[in-house]
Each structure stands twice: as structure tokens, then as C-alpha cells.
Amino acid sequence: MTMLASVWIVLLAVNIQAGDGQSVQMDSIKSGFVGSQVELRCIFVNSNPPVKISQVTWQKFLNGTKQNVAIANPSLGVSVLPPFKERVTFKQAAVRHRTPSLEDTTIMFSNLRLSDEAAYICEYTTFPAGNRENMVNLTVFARPLTRMTLTTPTIVARPQKRKMTVATCLSANGKPQSVIKWDTRLKGEATFQETQNSNGTVTVRSNYVVVPSRETHKQKLTCIVTYRNERITDSVVLNVQYEPEVKIEGFDGNWYLNRQDVSLTCNTDANPPVTVYQWKLLNGSLPSTVEIRNNSLIFKGAVTYELAGTYVCDATNGIGTRTGLVEVNVTEKPMARGPPGGILGVLGGVVAAGLLIAVAVTVFMVYRRQQKTRTETDNDLIAVAVVDGTVVTQPPPSDSVAPPPEPDTVVTQATEKPESPTRKVMAPAPSLPSTGTTPPRSPPLGPCILLPACNGGLKLIYLSTRL
Ligand SMILES: *[C@@H]1O[C@H](CO)[C@@H](O)[C@H](O)[C@H]1NC(C)=O
Ligand SMILES: *[C@@H]1O[C@H](CO)[C@@H](O)[C@H](O)[C@H]1NC(C)=O
Ligand SMILES: *[C@@H]1O[C@H](CO)[C@@H](O)[C@H](O)[C@H]1NC(C)=O
Ligand SMILES: *[C@@H]1O[C@H](CO)[C@@H](O)[C@H](O)[C@H]1NC(C)=O
Ligand SMILES: *[C@@H]1O[C@H](CO)[C@@H](O)[C@H](O)[C@H]1NC(C)=O
Ligand SMILES: *[C@@H]1O[C@H](CO)[C@@H](O)[C@H](O)[C@H]1NC(C)=O
């Protein structure tokens, strides 16, 4: 059963492929570059019963018209027609030597031209089966000539800031056509232009346009040409000439009387380099104590009021002259060097320390309050002192009477938990000695309680609460 089915399938396949027994086998497409050689295959499949091959004809088929290329006849031999005579040969020697075996009439097509691009038909004339033919499409590629050029070896940056083409990338006479792209950090733009040639090739040209400037000097510009699956890159580095960029250095705003060894330097960035530096003083002539050394002005001796003025440096290179100037003033005394940041730093420290103490005191007060409510004491008075950065508190003697708060009373509001209004530190500095009882001069908890020595600490708290 299975065997039978297989035989049927094979028979069916052969029938479909070969029709009534004969076929012409060819590649459907073929390609080659201009100047190269291609093989156009043509095989006659002659099955049982075999037919007689009367003639094989190769034809070029273009634009609806057919043109004979080569003819092989078993009795008359081989003929390659004029426009192809030098470039087309049958691959099999047997065909060339008039042997009547024309099963393989593959041709070798050499030195390809663009005009060879066409469909090629291989036609078998047989007896008694009639004609059998097939077709191959031949594509001819042309490798483009790719080239990148700088517009000029050196580009001059003009003050008018006009855009100009600095480089051109060309991919000439390519088939299929190439694609040009640019890779650079320059902020320019590219223009593209393509020309269709009559022979089917395309020339692609791209210009890179940029405003030449100091910033574009030494920038790399890369052209990337993609032809089929090939990438061709070419790079240039721009050489831009520009006027000097001038900056006078040396005046720090602190030229005071009798200061020694001051100088001014004319620093420039220029391409080509600066050849001439010229110094002058606006509204006057240069002081006699000055010495010009290349691009520097060296002031000999001490600073005097005569040095004040506007100093001008003219720097010249092959492109032009640019000017830099600095206004020099002379003060009697050196400038105060105290930066205001120092004071701010000290203030910040004070604030931080104050806050720390305030928090500590508040925490302690909360604790005291709770204790007090438990022991039913109505004594609010607490002494606070700061000794070596630690908060020391001392409750007053139990028989003391709480005085009304005085204007100098230090009140620290707890900022962390504002929902609790009881969190207050009351430390009236001058009220403690007026409690009637004599406070201990040297209490066990600390060296002092609100004694003059502790004023600094208290003031610290006061300061922090007011800030
Ligand atoms: C193909 O035919 C068209 C019109 O018939 C003609 O314009 C064109 O030039 C022909 N091309 C070639 C390659 O012969
Ligand atoms: C080959 O070329 C012919 C005519 O130019 C066209 O009709 C056909 O589709 C092409 N075949 C292939 C496989 O490109
Ligand atoms: C195609 O034509 C262009 C322009 O006429 C020519 O420069 C080029 O060499 C030609 N290419 C080929 C492969 O003939
Ligand atoms: C001196 O020059 C410096 C820097 O230019 C400037 O900051 C300062 O105000 C000037 N002083 C006087 C008195 O003109
Ligand atoms: C300095 O020179 C400028 C221009 O050269 C002029 O306008 C100005 O009046 C002069 N000042 C003095 C004080 O000479
Ligand atoms: C001036 O410049 C030249 C070259 O630029 C250098 O050789 C020379 O030492 C410089 N002179 C001084 C005084 O700096």
C-alpha cells in the first residue's frame, strides 16, 4: 500500500516538472560587475522517449525585442553573432567542436558591459517535441568611484560668518546607486545631488556646508558611502584659519601701591599663530617702567598710580588683527581678603550648636514636666547651664518660690513636636539669685548654675531661639 502511494507521488512529481518529458534548466537570475565574467547555465533535460535536438539558440531579450546571441547546430556547428563574438563562448568543448551533443549549452559571458543587462533566452528546437525554452535575467553592476575632497586645503573663517562648502563626497557612476552619509561633530548641514547617467549608472554627490570658525578648526569630518552591502569611509580634518582670540591676563583687581612684580600677558588663540603683538595705553603712553617681552608687559619696580589706565593689546596673524583690553586701577591698600563666606560659616556653626542645645533642653524639660506632674510640685524653675558643650540642669531648692518670667527669659520652642504646648524651657537667668534662699555656690551637678561664667552658654540658646 505504502509502496504504491510513493510510486504515484514520484510519477506525479516527474509529470509536473517535466511536462511531456523535456525541459530547459536555467538559473532565474544572475549578476556580475562591469568587466567581469558570468556563466549563464542552460541544461536540456531529455527524458524517455528522447527527442532529437535540431538547434539551440541563445537570444537577448530586451524591451520586447529579441536579438540572437549564439546558435549551436549539430550539423552546422556553432555561431556567435557580431556584438557578442569576442565575449561569448560555449562552456562545453564538445559543443564548440561540432559534436552533436547539445545537452549542456551553458555560455560564458566575459568582459560584461552595462548594456548586457537583459533577459537571456535559451531555446531548444527539437523533433518531434517542438520548442522548449527558459530565461535568465542578467543584472550588471558598476562599482562607483568614491572620493572625498576638501574644498580648499585651508579654510578661512571670515567675520561675516558665511556658510560655505568645506568638503565634497562623491560616489560616481555606480549601479545600483550609493547612499552618502556624514559623520561629524560639526554643526553643519549636507546637500545631496544625484545624476542619472544614460548608461544606467548614478552619480551621487554631497557637499558639507558649515560656517568656518575657531570651533570648527581641527574637527574631523567623515563621509560614509554605502554601496550595496559595502561601506566605504573617508575622513578629513578641517584646517580653519581664524583671527586671534585675545585675552589679557595678569590684572587681579588688586594692584595696590608698592606692590612688586606685576605684569600683563596678551594670551591669544590664533591660526596661524600671532606674529605681532602691540601694546598701548588708552589716553596716554605706556609707563616708562614697563618692558615688553613677546606678548607680555612687565612692570618693573613698585606699583604707582601712574600705572592705572586701559591697556590694549593688538594681536595680528595672517588673517587679521583683534584687540583685547583690560582696565587697570590702582588702590592705596591691598584689598581686604576676608571672604564673607567665613562669617557665614561661623554663624552657621553657632546656629547648629544652639539648636542642639535647645533640643537637649527640650527633651529634658519634657521629662521634668512629667516628673513634676506626678510629684505634684508646681516648681517651674530650672537652671540651665552649658559647660563644655554639655547641658547641665539643676532644680532649685524645693522651698523656693517661682518668680514671674522676666523679659530676659530664654524660651525655647520645641520645633520638632509643635503639637505639645507644654514643651518649654524656662531659664530666667537673673531670677535665680533672687529666690531668697542662697543657692549653692558649687552645685554637685556642674561647676556653675547660671553664674556669669555661664552667660555665654545662655546667650547661645537665646541666639538660637531668635534666629
Ligand atoms: C525601450 O523601449 C522604449 C520605448 O519603446 C524606448 O524609449 C527605450 O529607449 C528602449 N530602451 C532600450 C534600452 O532600448
Ligand atoms: C526577468 O525579466 C523579465 C523581463 O524583463 C521579467 O518579466 C521577469 O519578471 C524577470 N524575472 C525575474 C526572476 O526577475
Ligand atoms: C556610464 O556613464 C558615465 C557618464 O557618461 C561614464 O562616466 C561611465 O564611465 C559609464 N560607466 C560605464 C561602466 O560605462
Ligand atoms: C578696579 O577694577 C576692578 C576690576 O575691574 C573693579 O572690580 C573695581 O571696582 C575697580 N575699582 C575701582 C575703585 O574702580
Ligand atoms: C580717552 O579716550 C577716549 C577715546 O579715545 C575719549 O573718548 C575720552 O574722552 C578720553 N578720556 C580722557 C580722559 O582723555
Ligand atoms: C619670545 O618668544 C620666543 C619664541 O616665541 C622665545 O624663544 C623667547 O624666549 C621669548 N622671549 C621671552 C623674553 O620670553
Name the DSSP letter for residue 459: H
Helices (H) and strands (E) in the chain, counts: 4, 32
Within a 10 A sphere around the Cβ of 39, how many other Cβ atoms? 13
Q: Is 7 in the pocket of ligand 5 (CB under 6 A)?
A: no
Question: Alpha-carbon distance 70 to 123, whole Å?
Answer: 11
Any idea what the Cα angle at residue 20 is, between residues 16 and 22, rounded to 5°? 95
Atom of ligand 5 nearest to the CA of 283: 1
Q: Please, are residues 311 and 322 in contact by the beta-carbon 8 Å criterion?
A: no
Give the range with max mean pLDDT: 286-295, 362-371, 400-409: 286-295
pLDDT of residue 240: 94
Within a 10 A sphere around the Cβ of 439, how many other Cβ atoms? 16
Pocket of ligand 4 (CB under 6 A): 253, 327, 329
Q: Please, are residues 208 and 221 in contact by the beta-carbon 8 Å criterion?
A: yes
Which fold is adopted by the domain 18-141?
Answer: Immunoglobulin-like (2.60.40)
| Ligand 6 geometric centre to CA of 103 (Å) | 89
Atom of ligand 3 nearest to the CA of 200: 1
Question: Alpha-carbon distance 375 to 370, whole Å?
Answer: 9
Torsion of CA 248, 250, 251, 256, to 10 degrees: -150
Question: Alpha-carbon distance 459 to 354, whole Å?
Answer: 9
Higher pLDDT, 433 or 33: 33
Question: Alpha-carbon distance 127 to 405, whole Å?
Answer: 136
Q: What distances in angstroms separate CA 330 from CA 253, 285, 428, one per listed residue?
A: 8, 17, 55
CATH of domain 242-331: 2.60.40.10
Omega cis (within 30) before 176: yes
pLDDT of residue 464: 34
pLDDT of residue 361: 58
Question: Alpha-carbon distance 154 to 236, whole Å?
Answer: 12
Amino acid (1-letter code) at residue 105? T
Residue 226 has pLDDT above 70, yes or no: yes
Q: Please, are residues 395 and 361 in contact by the beta-carbon 8 Å criterion?
A: no
Residue 392 has pLDDT above 70, yes or no: no
Q: Please, are residues 174 and 142 in contact by the beta-carbon 8 Å criterion?
A: yes
Atom of ligand 6 nearest to the CA of 293: 13
Residue 132 belongs to what H/E stretch? strand 130-141
Name the DSSP letter for residue 160: T
Give the range with max mean pLDDT: 2-11, 337-346, 437-446: 337-346
Look up the CATH architecture of domain 145-238: Sandwich (2.60)
Q: Is 173 in the pocket of ligand 3 (CB under 6 A)?
A: yes
Atom of ligand 6 nearest to the CA of 294: 1
The residues of the chain that CATH labels 2.60.40.10 are 18-141, 145-238, 242-331
pLDDT band with cut points at 50, 70 and 90 for residue 100: low
Report field, pTM of the whole predicted structure over 0.95: no
Q: If DSSP states are collapsed to H, E and C, what string results for 31-68? A: EEECCCCEEECCEEEECCCCCEEEEEEEEEEECCEEEE
From the CA of 140, which ligand is nearest? 3
Where do we find the cell 538547434? 55
Pocket of ligand 6 (CB under 6 A): 293-294
Question: Alpha-carbon distance 40 to 392, whole Å?
Answer: 108
Where do we find the cell 570651533? 215
Residue 220 has pLDDT above 60, yes or no: yes
Where do we find the cell 558649515? 210
* Closest listed residue to residue 465, CA positions, set 355, 308, 352: 355
pLDDT of residue 400: 41
pLDDT of residue 65: 96
Q: What percentage of residues in the chain have a pLDDT greater than 70?
A: 66
Residue 1 has pLDDT above 80, yes or no: no
Of all protein residues, the one whose alpha carbon is nearest to atom 2 of ligand 6 is 294
pLDDT of residue 425: 38
Any idea what the Cα angle at residue 61 is, between residues 60 and 65, rounded to 5°? 115
Of all protein residues, the one whose alpha carbon is nearest to atom 1 of ligand 6 is 294
Of all protein residues, the one whose alpha carbon is nearest to atom 13 of ligand 6 is 293
pLDDT of residue 294: 87
The alpha carbon of 33 is separated from its chain's Cα centroid by a whole number of angstroms, namely 39
Beta bridge partners, 135, equal 121
Name the DSSP letter for residue 96: H
- By most ligand atoms within 8 Å of CB, the mutation choice from 280, 282, 325 for ligand 5 is 282
* Strands 107-109 and 88-90, bridge-based pairing: antiparallel
Average pLDDT of the segment spanning 93-98: 67
Torsion of CA 284, 286, 288, 294, to 10 degrees: -170
Within a 10 A sphere around the Cβ of 225, how many other Cβ atoms? 23
pLDDT band with cut points at 50, 70 and 90 for residue 76: confident
Average pLDDT of the segment spanning 413-422: 38
| Ligand 1 geometric centre to CA of 235 (Å) | 41
Cβ neighbours for 343, distance < 8 A, ≥ 6 positions apart: none
